[in-house]
Amino acid sequence: MRAALFTDTDTPVDIVDVDLQSPEANEVRIRITAAGVCHSELHLIRGEWEAPVPLVPGHEGSGIVTEVGPGVAHLHEGDHVVLSWNPYCGECRECVAGRETRCHKVASVINATGTLLDGTSRLSIDGTPIHHYLGVSSWAEEVVVPATGAIRVRDDAPLDAIALVGCAAATGVGAVVNTARVTPGSTVAVIGCGGVGLNIVQGARMQGAERIIAVDLSPDRAELARTFGATDAVGSAVAAEAIRELEPHGVDFAFDAIGHVTTTEAAINSLGLGGAAVIVGLPPAGATASFEPLALAEMDARILGSNYGSIRPQYDIPKLVDLYMTGELLLDELITARRPLDEVAQAVTDLASGAQLRQLLIP
């Protein structure tokens, strides 16, 4: 099959021929119909995150099951699926407790070694193994993934648009609903209006927030957030100050959808009494932010980390697809380009420059 290959920061991502092995036990093979282009790949390509290389990037996507491995009973050939980059083991302490996004095996095997759950790869070039990325590697014509990483969804949902449920929507909406537990009537600030940030905005809208302040360096991006439910749109590089101009006493919930030190600190500094700052965007490895512990304690405020929106993939992803089909969740409005897989290098360039919001690679 054809797939994108990342080798090092000095070599552009390119399309090459890759061998894909059939699924082993508890795995499935999927023909990719659409793959999202997310900032997580940009961290990888810039060398800001470490990962075993060479690898096939891509962690957001959708497709159709073409083959099932031994032991898979809940998926069948022809099923429509959304890919999850948290293909949990179902057996560790966190999984048993219903906290699949904290799966020990995902962290220690999938992410650390660039393999599938059994510690081996299904990808190779001329017999030499190639690493998977986050157990997905969706920038390809086909993938083999753990069965827990392929979430069956309704057949009538457009397979291209719902690719975004696998990361952007699940991460953003989940951070609001599951991690922060935003309540009706709350005041919310969202710093960063990219794919994840806009899903935080619409998650806050769906939870009944009274005021939703969207802040972005780009006034146009901030203004776009109104489409998703923002009540206020601010183009500013000084997020905390901009938020406090509108809410002098601070907000109930402030979401950092970018993950820079400055935006994390801005989210914390935007809080009112009893508020919660939720870190959703992921920073470069080793980055540190500062805050005043005494002030945080006196305010009875909290700092929360949100990994994959604290979702339970098997339950939350189909629900998000249902919300899209009823018009409650906006996805088409996020997609600014559909490109053939051959244009992956240009897609990465446009992602880095901010020229596109959310792009889909169509194999």
Find the DSSP H helices in the chain. Answer: 39-45, 93-96, 104-105, 112-113, 168-174, 195-206, 219-228, 239-246, 261-269, 293-299, 313-325, 344-353
As given in the structure block, the two tokens for residue 176 are 């609001």
Closest by Cα among 246, 245, 223, 244 to 235: 223
Respond yes or no: is residue 40 known to be catalytic. yes
Active-site annotation holder among 39, 43, 80, 132: 43
Angle, to 10 degrees, between the axis of helix 261-269 and the axis of helix 239-246? 20
327 Cβ neighbours under 8 A, 6+ residues apart: none
> Do the Cβ atoms of 134 and 111 come closer than 8 Å?
yes
Question: CB–CB of 331/164 below 8 Å?
Answer: yes
Write out the two tokens for 281. 């965007």
Residue listed under structure tokens 């870190």: 279
Degrees (nearest 5) of the Cα angle 243, 247, 249?
Answer: 115
**288 CA to centre of own chain:** 21
- Is 193 tagged catalytic? no
Radius of gyration of the chain (CA): 20
- Nearest to 131, CA basis, from 7, 242, 248, 277: 7
Q: Is the peptide bond before 158 cis (omega within 30 degrees of 0)?
A: no
Residues 6+ apart with CB under 8 A from 252: 182, 183, 186, 187, 188, 272, 274, 275, 276
167 catalytically annotated: yes
Q: Which of 89, 95, 167, 193 is catalytic?
A: 167
Q: Please identify which of the residues 39, 40, 138, 310 carries the catalytic annotation.
A: 40
- The residues annotated with a catalytic role in the active site are 38, 40, 43, 59, 167
